Copies of this chain bind each other. A is one copy, B any other.
């Protein structure tokens, strides 16, 4: 969020992809109807967070994935990508992003290809994401030129560890402070947070201060 604020303050045009179809593809984490509601929620929350910290949202745009990912042009390009990307490379690209399970379905292999193709259809110069997206970004750089599109740049944010140590996860409420958290909830979670003395790596509190509090000032 703070990085989006920095981009906007630097005069960049920012498109936020509300990836409803991707949410649905990722091992059926959620049904498509729920994902669509969630997309609306994200749009509202991101806009208002930026306004709250005094960032102009004139150059901010939200794009719903399903608004262009089901067009004939996009789908033909997706099928073309399917003819140039091997199963092995698609699997590798998604390894850190798509939930890894036994007997994985095909949707997890399609997911990275769509993320690559989105760069072309969103008309962006650069894609921004967490470092966990690195392998998908590498795939995008390699395969877009193979179907005649230009290679894009990629910016990556470090992954902020969860408050409980380890990865921040939607399925562990204590690992993160939610946007709708009450002040009491925030206090409670910070008190419970993992912060071993003299340990900087994976220290939830230190990372929170470094990546959230300090840059926000």
Q: Is A106 an interface position by the 8 A CB rule? A: yes
A83–B113 CB distance below 8 A: no
Partner of A110, one of B79, B88, B103, B105: B79
Partner of A105, one of B70, B84, B106: B84
- 6 extra A-B contacts, CB within 8 A, seeds A85-B105, A88-B103, A90-B106: A21-B79, A71-B72, A75-B75, A82-B105, A87-B104, A87-B109
B70–A87 CB distance below 8 A: no
Q: Is A116 an interface position by the 8 A CB rule? A: no
Q: Is A25 an interface position by the 8 A CB rule? A: yes
Contacts of A24 in B (CB 8 A): 79, 83
A82–B25 CB distance below 8 A: yes
Partner of A25, one of B70, B79, B87: B79
Interface size on A, residues (CB 8 A): 28
* A143-173 interface bits toward B, Cβ cutoff 8 Å, 1 = contact, 0 = none: 0000000000000000000000000000000
B70–A75 CB distance below 8 A: yes
Residues A87 and B106 in contact in the complex (CB < 8 Å), given A21-B79, A79-B21 = yes
B70–A85 CB distance below 8 A: no
* A66-100 interface bits toward B, Cβ cutoff 8 Å, 1 = contact, 0 = none: 00001110011001011111111010000000000
Q: Is A45 an interface position by the 8 A CB rule? A: no
